[in-house]
Structure 1
């Protein structure tokens, strides 16, 4: 059973492919249970964000895990292969360390990904698909991410996706203070973006969500109002800025709805930022006049600001990660000897019990205890020494030389030739 990590991200696959392999939060438990139930993996954790879908698992068959992903999403394996990366052992661990440290993110050094990994691990733990191997991996991952943050400046002066959303809007409108802003969704990403927009003092903030209670809880923080998604067709035309990030598997805003809203607005421009994967806004809406539609991939150029200054710190972080990946590889190797150690202990205990039973019978017959102890010690010595002695006597050639060295090292003795 070996460690395997496979998936795709913003560097290997376009948004149109990533959205097909996304796992909404509510489907993760069922997906994890399915992956383990099919015996494609013994342990599993799934990380699914707007920029990546990655599966970490303990599996003895790489192909089976990849085949499961193909079947689960109903996509031919051949269609996915060009976009997927597959990493084993210490390379899988190194990748996890880089992701958690923000080195593999669209925003170099961003911190949100660490929380997303912790959520993925928490879900796997609750479902029962987190075993010894993955638990060891992620505990090490969290420790490495903390070390990178504390010892390097990789996250300094980074422009988050939330801040980039405001910068994009400011390229279209002279001031945020005169705008009506609509947020669709009430999750962590919307909360972050809303915080940045609210700091600019927009004229109006509205939060739309499937459940009104969650929308109200978020809207109250920013002095805004809340509506349900059902109200969007009637209200959309009122807003200059629309930012959406939900877990919907189907678009919430279609081209027709957006087109009607633009007509009501008499073609005043509308800035739309779709941070959802899969997308919440039909791509065709971006072709409409006076609609400025951006996706999560479109803001890459904005978040590049300050990246060069953080690159040196990233090199320091890579050094830390390489060292910690080697440590984890050693841990895996030690774990692989556990079954052998257990078997060795079991065999030794079997010999001990047999010798003890024989001694107890001798004592029960009234034999001299001193003599019984002497016989017991000789029997134990002979039994325990028989396997290495037999191996040394029957071996030959290079194998025997290696065996001699191994036995000498194990028992901390020197052979006569030395």
Structure 2
């Protein structure tokens, strides 16, 4: 059964945040999901990797075409989402389209922030997880190694990543819209991952009056706080201290909201109508969407920041054209490798069949020599036997064919067998 390269999922262009957060997979769920996926389809899904970020959840796999049609139902069932609600937002690519999609994602061409570099690291993490789960084989390993090489080539030979406005920089701009100068502002960061690290660095450059990192584990919070001269607190302390902060930036891996409507409402009452900017970069969301209805609360999610940074300079638009050209060439190279790989089993079978034919004729010749037959006659019979077996397949196919099929054979046989020119 043939195996295709398949990419399936949804992203920020195909699905709103409310849908994306329903299928987002936290890190600890990746291995169980990969195991469940391969178990559900048996041998039909040979290899798999899952990429899940705030902007996308995608499954990359080497699978039989029949399995590809069932992937949406599997994802809906695994995430306990209504399949009909999910279906309109899904896309599926196979073969060269799947390869092209992987190259574009890793190169930052399919990101909300054009050229952003974080996605490449996230894809590498996804591949490591798939390797640890035993879900990666030759085909996907080759695909991802080439994907990373293409991303490196695009970033080193084009201006795709230059002047890009990151999510972190956009968060600072939103805070400045409300407060102007941030030197008198108190900023709270919830979480201590890569995105919060980036945001903290950008805010620290504005020299706010106070910064605090809240995290489930204080040790992780202290690691980030030490870099930006910030204080720390546990998540359990949020209800009593939230009102102290003018800007709240949150990005955790929590499956449930950390800041609910009630908690934020109490904080706004304590602040006595002083505005508060809340930036929720998590998927699923850390802050309940209903918080946006509160007076004096300016709540922004990842999609809001994405709209803020969708502009591209002429130089970066030109870089996109260059990047697409590089990707197209590399897609063709990968498909050539894939085509060559599919020929290998046929070549192996041909060698095995020829070897079996050779062994049978040699055994017949040895028995004849052991009986004392004339060696010259034995050699003649050996050559005749090999020739007959060599010609049996094409002659039988030619004799049994007719019409267009015979014309095709007549075209290909001279290319496969060295025939004398007439």
TM-score for the superposition, normalised by structure 2: 0.92
- 1:120 is aligned to 2:92: no
1:149 maps to which residue? 155
Aligned counterpart in structure 2 of residue 58 of structure 1, from 62, 67, 78: 62
2:345 maps to which residue? 339
Contact (CA 8 Å) 2:172, 2:202: kept in 1 or not? yes
Aligned counterpart in structure 1 of residue 398 of structure 2, from 392, 403, 413: 392
2:289 maps to which residue? 283
Aligned counterpart in structure 1 of residue 40 of structure 2, from 35, 38, 41: 38
Q: What does 1:218-257 correspond to in 2, within 5 Å?
A: 218-257=224-263
With 90-99 and 303-312 compared, the bigger mean Cα shift is at 303-312
- The structural deviation recorded for 1:350 is 1.5
CA distance in 1, matches of 2:229, 2:378: 87
With 94-103 and 202-211 compared, the bigger mean Cα shift is at 202-211
Structure 1, unaligned runs of 5 or more: none
With 25-34 and 212-221 compared, the bigger mean Cα shift is at 212-221
CA distance in 2, matches of 1:178, 1:368: 107
RMSD value, Cα: 2.0
1:14 maps to which residue? 16
With 232-241 and 20-29 compared, the bigger mean Cα shift is at 232-241
Q: What does 1:140-179 correspond to in 2, within 5 Å?
A: 140-179=146-185
Aligned counterpart in structure 1 of residue 218 of structure 2, from 209, 212, 232: 212
Label 1:394 to 1:221 Cα distance change in 2 as closer, same or farther (>3 A): same
- The structural deviation recorded for 1:390 is 2.9
1:72 maps to which residue? 78
Structure 2, unaligned runs of 5 or more: none
Label 1:281 to 1:365 Cα distance change in 2 as closer, same or farther (>3 A): same
CA distance in 1, matches of 2:21, 2:313: 26
CA distance in 2, matches of 1:11, 1:269: 31
- The structural deviation recorded for 1:372 is 5.1
CA distance in 1, matches of 2:197, 2:374: 82
- 1:28 is aligned to 2:30: yes
Aligned counterpart in structure 2 of residue 259 of structure 1, from 262, 265, 270: 265
- The structural deviation recorded for 1:342 is 2.5
With 60-69 and 385-394 compared, the bigger mean Cα shift is at 385-394
Between the two proteins, the alignment pairs up a number of residues equal to 416
TM-score for the superposition, normalised by structure 1: 0.93
CA distance in 2, matches of 1:312, 1:189: 28
Q: What does 1:368-387 correspond to in 2, within 5 Å?
A: 375-387=381-393
CA distance in 2, matches of 1:188, 1:167: 19
